[in-house]
Amino acid sequence: MTTTDALAKLGLAHAAFLSAVAEVRVATITAAGGSTGVPGAVRTVNLIVATHYGLALEQMVSDLRGSQRISTARLVAVALCLENTGYLASDVAAVFNRTHNMAGYARRKVADWCATDAKFATEYTMLNHKVVVALQENHPDV
């Protein structure tokens, strides 16, 4: 294994660790009767997309723009939230520390990628299916 491969594995393991920490934090707050301030359905979508892209939840909602992978994952998560939760664009964007304009951009950009990139379209369809199933199981009111 090369150093580059080892560093890539370490990066993925670190992202998985940060996601697990975020899940424990949310579970602890929820178990204590508190609120994380993030609608459960949006948190579910965010977790599915973050896991798929090997990112931590904190990276998805960071104020920083981040890498191309983070930006793409964020756009996909916002588009999936808009498509599947019924929340307003401004509410979804606020969860990601963005404006409602970014939510509209995410919807258009993801549609464009799906129309022009078959691999991306397949990936998005698979993620959308995971989101639909998870929302039906965990958030039937959405």
Residue 8 is classified by DSSP as: H
pLDDT at residue 101, as a whole number = 92
Query: How many whole angstroms separate alpha carbon 81 and alpha carbon 42?
Result: 6
CA dihedral 62, 42, 98, 53 (to 10 degrees): 50
pLDDT at residue 3, as a whole number = 83
Query: How many whole angstroms separate alpha carbon 33 and alpha carbon 65?
Result: 32
134 Rama class: left (phi>0) / alpha (psi -120 to 50) / beta? alpha
Average pLDDT per 10 consecutive residues for the chain, totaling 142 residues = 79 64 54 54 92 91 82 96 91 87 94 97 96 88 74
CATH of domain 3-138: 1.10.1750.10
Question: Long-range contact list for 125-129, CB < 8 A, 24+ apart?
Answer: 127/48, 127/49, 127/52, 127/76, 127/80, 128/80, 128/83, 128/84
pLDDT at residue 79, as a whole number = 97
Query: How many whole angstroms separate alpha carbon 36 and alpha carbon 5?
Result: 36
Query: How many whole angstroms separate alpha carbon 90 and alpha carbon 99?
Result: 6
